[in-house]
Amino acid sequence: MDQERYFTVGKLVNTHGLRGEVRVISTSDFPDERFRKGNELFLFHPSMDRPLKLKVSTRRTHKEFEILSFQGYTNINDIEKYKGGELKIPESDLMELEEDEFYIHELIGCEVITDEGEELGKITDVLQTGANDVWVVKGMRGEVLLPYIDDCIKEVDVANKRVVCHLMEGLL
């Protein structure tokens, strides 16, 4: 288990009620799948030496939160100490994506060049704005924000860590 990489799917931000439920802010594009009853998640918390395996007992959505409970944790006192922890899944549990879809961790570190051959730098972050993602590229020109739209992003090759973009007017 120590050899496998883990990816965050949610942050445990607070308890909810007295029966061991927690409020989770989802960072997953697939919350219905990730937080389904019976699924296993791993809790990483600064107070623990190793991740804690949890099995989802119940799930519902309330406002912007996922309200979860876990098997064996039926009281607020059982779960309150884990506030601030991150819920993660192992790399082996990542879902297959469509041909033109990417996980954020696959994009981080990709070299970005323009369709004219200029090196812009590497993707350091992906901002999820709602309308479209914005890729943060840091390089010799400083920080460049590239919208993930067809007019700007022309080619993505995560296997070779390479992205080709078209610099639309006003991006620099």
Domain map (residue ranges) of the chain: 6-93, 104-165
21-26/52-62 β-pairing:
unpaired
**What is the Cα–Cα distance from 6 to 43, expressed in whole angstroms?**
10
DSSP per-residue codes, 39-55: -EEEEE-TT-SSPEEEE
Tell me, rounded to whole angstroms, the distance of Cα 171 from its chain centroid.
Answer: 26
Q: What is the largest CA-CA distance in the chain?
A: 60
Q: pLDDT band at residue 98, thresholds of 50, 70 and 90?
A: confident
pTM: 0.72
**For residue 2, what pLDDT is reported?**
52
pLDDT of residue 1: 44
**148 pLDDT exceeds 80?**
yes
Instruction: Kindly report the average pLDDT of the chain as a whole number.
Output: 91
Please say if the pLDDT value at position 32 is more than 50: yes
* pLDDT value, residue 129: 78
At 11, is the secondary structure helix, strand, or coil?
strand
pLDDT at 72 over 60: yes
Class of CATH domain 6-93:
mainly beta
Q: How many CB atoms lie within 10 A of CB 127?
A: 12
Provide the CATH topology of domain 104-165. Answer: SH3 type barrels. (2.30.30)
Q: What is the pLDDT of residues 115-136, one digit of tens each?
A: 999 999 999 998 877 788 899 9
The order of strands in the sheet holding 153-157 is 142-147, 133-139, 119-128, 111-114, 162-165, 153-157
Cα 13-19-25 angle, rounded to 5 deg: 20
Q: Per-residue confidence at 92, pLDDT binned at 50, 70, 90? A: confident
The secondary structure element, H or E, covering residue 78 is helix 76-79
For residue 144, the model assigns a pLDDT of 92
